[in-house]
Amino acid sequence: MQKFRIIGLIFSLLGGPALAAPTKLLVFGDSLVSGYGVRDSESFSNALGQRLAADGYDVVVANAGVPGNTTAMGLARAAKAAAGKPDLVILELGINDLLNDAPLGVTRNNLSRLIHSFRAAGARVILAGMIADNRRGAIYKRGFDALFPALASKYALPLYPYFLDGVANDPELTQEGGLHPNAEGVGVIVARFAPLIEKTLDEMGAPPR
């Protein structure tokens, strides 16, 4: 009996067993995830956080989307983002490389360096792919579209093949121009993307709420 009283006293002094910290999820990308053109509460990060919470995951989602960012711009701020020690990073960049005529080799190299940077900080990475239109010709399009699956294969990353799947060019789900999702479009992206994110969280042993 004395032994159990001593153990109870120790737990009392230490405040009891430590609770698992929430999983830190960083959404790192451009205007497609920043909340461009929608209310803050309707951004991809907030909508994803609400979905994960509803599904029982104890996750804090941080929005590191910056409108207009190319992969080079993302690389310039990656070290600061990685210093926050995220557990999981959704990496969504590349469409602005296409729009700014960046060479495919530059985009590939920058994305590789971003993956290395976040992994070196201890984070798992989910790669969000993009698909090019035909503005730069069929050869570029084939190379751009293949870039994301190739990187995911090389680094053994979970891949969401096309971030705008089911949304792009749908006037009911996008803002003017057919690219940026409106609030309804964000909801569609979250609903389609969430199963892969939750599968990754499960594999990580992320604590429940």
Domain assignment present for 98: yes
Domain assignment present for 14: no
Collapsing DSSP to helix, strand or coil, 119 comes out as helix
Domain assignment present for 57: yes
pTM of the model: 0.90
* Averaged pLDDT score across all residues of the chain: 92
Give the mean model confidence (pLDDT) for residues 150-177: 97
Q: What is the pLDDT of residues 77-130, one digit of tens each?
A: 999 999 999 999 999 999 999 999 999 999 999 999 999 999 999 999 999 999
Q: Which domain holds residue 131?
A: 22-204
Instruction: Report the CATH number at residue 78.
Output: 3.40.50.1110
pLDDT band at 16 (very low <50, low <70, confident <90, very high): very low
In SS3 terms, 19-84 reads as: CCCCEEEEEEECHHHHCCCCCHHHCHHHHHHHHHHHCCECEEEEEEECCCCCHHHHHHCHHHHHCC
Domains held by the chain: number: 1
